[in-house]
A and B are shown apart, each in its own frame.
Chain A
């Protein structure tokens, strides 16, 4: 009984101490906050004392924090320590490892695909291979995360995998060992190639290396042998977003001057404007940006900025429509982090694309849109509890959708082929936008 009271006191103080850390957590409405925290503390204590079996305290609190934030909107969530570490790898854009995409199958780790130019691909690991043991320890019984954890490690360290290759009859029943040296594996790297006189740049996400990846791409495309570059295609299809500052830098790379985006939080003084400076790395060459329903968030900032400045022709299908910004708020050592919606962003013309998306200048379908049911490819407006767009300005309707031909030969990537035609001036009435020469 004594102990209970003692812990009880500590809890309340813990709350107060936490609230006291925040300058604005003072004032009359804090009475309500304390009452609610008391209620939570009471619920927590009752679960700890009376649940049918003892429960880990931090598990309870993790679930509580997740329950608190996931109710706010579809993009606010809680990351436990593990998820937070994974997210940091994602943002950093690289980790020490061997370079494979994996899944769990039959209790073994199965390689979906080795990533090009990584220790795994160099050692000849193949899609479909099973990893039966890591450094001699069987994988059976490990969960996927634990197995991934074991395969990651500092650059230069060695790892031995026991591989079962059932796709090869001769090896099907004979597991063999492969020793690899871990290296820095990049995730979501910018990739590029030439399509004749057009530079094609694929951007799968926005991490710390994205803008520099774009700059490398443009430099390399100019240098590659072939005719002079006439224009560029920036492919943002299925790019779910990432770091805001990278989106700003990517937009900046194509703009000579002007606002890129502004973000506005709860309070008026939270407004931040981001401007372009330092010139256009493509020398104002014509640009087509490819978007689709999977183009979201940071990608929409880029598409929105380049569209409002009439710097690029936006081609494809209406984008996802996520017009909000999340901030990562760590909750102390080992305490995970909040991913909390803290602001909305506005394109240079002052519009929010929240729940509306970027409407392309030229609507071109890929042709496979109807193959996937809508429930499996929702837009922001389909998400439960999504933020409502307060912007009531009339939106211009999306232009009529151009669809791939249903008979005869059709290009493997109709949207890209159409973009190339636009850049080559082959599509009547649709000039490719380029930077205005002043």
Chain B
């Protein structure tokens, strides 16, 4: 026997032993898992493996492995709660490359009611309008993924993407057969903060929270101060129909109105997993009176701002009960993004006083009706598999202030906010000053 031959024999032998031992150990674990509750995960995963293998082998046509697993991950996530979903690799890549703020969309305003996504209005001259999408249409699917049961934020996220990229929407109209439309995303500029003066009151509207929101807010306040001058009575911050956005942006916005103290705490599953966000000195409005407008469309990041300003008695909440989304979602890339990403609820947030607004919502200090044309809002409590509320249920908070008969307002809630600021300032100046 030559040395070379012995070497080769040894080499093969070692390989054989390793492989054999590996299998034996594994087999033991597998059998053990089947009998012990502690190994449920392993057994369950094996069940998935079996289902996957069966579909792969016996389905009518050869399925794509990738599509099977994407369907599985999406099914697993969407069943958790209405805010969790899966972004497949293509969607995730598109989200990653989109320039901050300059992302594209199709130009529709949507609402979700009873699990169905309806088009509320279409933005003129934008892709959806050009393709003939109409108000009242139901958005059945986006890129072939059924939208029934998905949350508003998730549906919006799926419509967004880099300008110029294609998106297929499936529309159901009245009793007709659903049909597909191939659209090309365009740059939609609707999410910038807007402001104007309402006489001696500064009005600022935030439609959504993005990286640009806080710098925009500073610019808005500076501009309003210049325009109105020393007569400035206070500000109205309009968060109505603001579905949320980036958590950090909402913290920065709340910070701009606060001098100190906690803004929000975010708590994950384990008790150790808690993050507190505090305000830094400096109120960009110099403590001027503030009214925040809220309604059933005020959700998530908006509710963080509203909750913080309410708990610190920094602002009065005016309008109607907010949406009640007290959870935070994280983007968890799989295989460094090559496997797409999980968009998953990982934490709850708590206002400075330690309350969760999950399901309960932010209760307005001044309950004012949105008028007869105000939409019926779907609330967190109506979403399938929503997280439970932690606080006591909201007590009835009276009947809303309605416009007096015969009076009509362009925006009753805003008018009431301005009136409130006038009254507040009048009361302040009536207070005797001691020199």
Which residues of A does B touch, CB under 8 Å? 6-7, 9-11, 13-19, 21-22, 24-25, 29, 32-33, 35-37, 39-44, 46-48, 50-55, 57-61, 63-73, 76, 78, 265-266, 324, 327, 329, 331-332, 335, 338, 340-344, 373-375, 382, 384-385, 387
Pairwise interchain contact B48-A373, C-beta atoms closer than 8 A = no
Pairwise interchain contact A50-B330, C-beta atoms closer than 8 A = yes
Pairwise interchain contact A13-B30, C-beta atoms closer than 8 A = yes
- Across-interface contacts of B65 in A (CB, < 8 A): 29, 32-33, 35-36
Render B133-165 as a binary contact track against A, CB cut-off 8 A, 1 for contact: 000000011001010000000000000000000
Of B68-76, B246-254, B303-311, the stretch lying at the interface with chain A is B68-76
How far is B346's CA from A60's CA once the two chains are assembled, in angstroms? 16
Interface size on B, residues (CB 8 A): 72
Contact A36 B68, CB 8 Å, known A7-B42, A43-B342 = yes
Rank and list the top 10 A-B pairs by shortest CB-CB distance, nearest first: A67-B75, A14-B46, A63-B79, A18-B49, A13-B26, A15-B49, A71-B71, A68-B72, A64-B72, A64-B76
**16 residue pairs A–B, Cβ–Cβ below 8 Å:** A7-B39, A10-B29, A11-B41, A35-B65, A39-B334, A46-B344, A50-B268, A60-B44, A61-B48, A65-B72, A68-B71, A70-B71, A265-B60, A341-B60, A374-B176, A375-B175
| B94 on interface, CB distance cutoff 8 Å | no
Pairwise interchain contact B58-A52, C-beta atoms closer than 8 A = no
Chain B CB within 10 A, most for which of A50, A265, A340: A50
How far is B72's CA from A47's CA once the two chains are assembled, in angstroms? 13
- Across-interface contacts of A72 in B (CB, < 8 A): 55, 59, 63
- Number of A-B residue pairs having CB atoms within 8 Å of each other in the complex: 240
Pairwise interchain contact B76-A67, C-beta atoms closer than 8 A = yes
B38-84, CB < 8 A from A: 39-63, 65-69, 71-80, 84
Pairwise interchain contact B334-A42, C-beta atoms closer than 8 A = yes
Contact A52 B59, CB 8 Å, known A13-B26, A14-B45, A42-B335 = no
| B320 on interface, CB distance cutoff 8 Å | no
Closest Cβ of chain A: how far from B140's Cβ, in Å?
Answer: 8
Contact of A329 among B58, B146, B177 (CB under 8 A): B58
Pairwise interchain contact A37-B52, C-beta atoms closer than 8 A = yes
Pairwise interchain contact A15-B45, C-beta atoms closer than 8 A = yes
Contact A25 B60, CB 8 Å, known A54-B269, A67-B72 = no
Closest Cβ of chain A: how far from B147's Cβ, in Å?
Answer: 12
How far is B327's CA from A37's CA once the two chains are assembled, in angstroms? 29
- Across-interface contacts of A66 in B (CB, < 8 A): 75, 79
- Across-interface contacts of B50 in A (CB, < 8 A): 18, 21, 331-332, 335
How far is B68's CA from A317's CA once the two chains are assembled, in angstroms? 37
Closest Cβ of chain A: how far from B143's Cβ, in Å?
Answer: 12
How far is B49's CA from A21's CA once the two chains are assembled, in angstroms? 11
Pairwise interchain contact A14-B33, C-beta atoms closer than 8 A = yes
How far is B141's CA from A17's CA once the two chains are assembled, in angstroms? 37
- Across-interface contacts of A25 in B (CB, < 8 A): 53, 56-57
Pairwise interchain contact B75-A68, C-beta atoms closer than 8 A = yes
Closest Cβ of chain B: how far from A343's Cβ, in Å?
Answer: 6
- Across-interface contacts of B48 in A (CB, < 8 A): 15, 40, 44, 61, 64-65
- Across-interface contacts of A54 in B (CB, < 8 A): 269
- Across-interface contacts of A335 in B (CB, < 8 A): 47, 50
Instruction: Please report whether the interface of chain B is mostly helix, strand, loop or mixed according to DSSP.
Output: helix
- Across-interface contacts of B387 in A (CB, < 8 A): 52-53
How far is B197's CA from A296's CA once the two chains are assembled, in angstroms? 65
How far is B75's CA from A67's CA once the two chains are assembled, in angstroms? 4
How far is B70's CA from A37's CA once the two chains are assembled, in angstroms? 10
Closest to B341 in A: A43
How far is B260's CA from A266's CA once the two chains are assembled, in angstroms? 68
- Across-interface contacts of A71 in B (CB, < 8 A): 67-68, 71
Contact A13 B29, CB 8 Å, known A40-B73, A70-B75, A331-B50 = yes
How far is B269's CA from A54's CA once the two chains are assembled, in angstroms? 8
Pairwise interchain contact A22-B72, C-beta atoms closer than 8 A = no
Chain A CB within 10 A, most for which of B43, B49, B65, B177: B49
Contact of B60 among A33, A58, A59, A344 (CB under 8 A): A344
How far is B75's CA from A54's CA once the two chains are assembled, in angstroms? 17
- Across-interface contacts of B261 in A (CB, < 8 A): none
Pairwise interchain contact B175-A69, C-beta atoms closer than 8 A = no
Other than the given A14-B30, A60-B44, 14 more pairs (CB < 8 A) read: A14-B42, A17-B49, A22-B54, A39-B334, A39-B335, A42-B339, A43-B342, A47-B80, A52-B268, A65-B72, A71-B67, A335-B50, A340-B54, A382-B178
Contact of A58 among B44, B335, B342 (CB under 8 A): B44
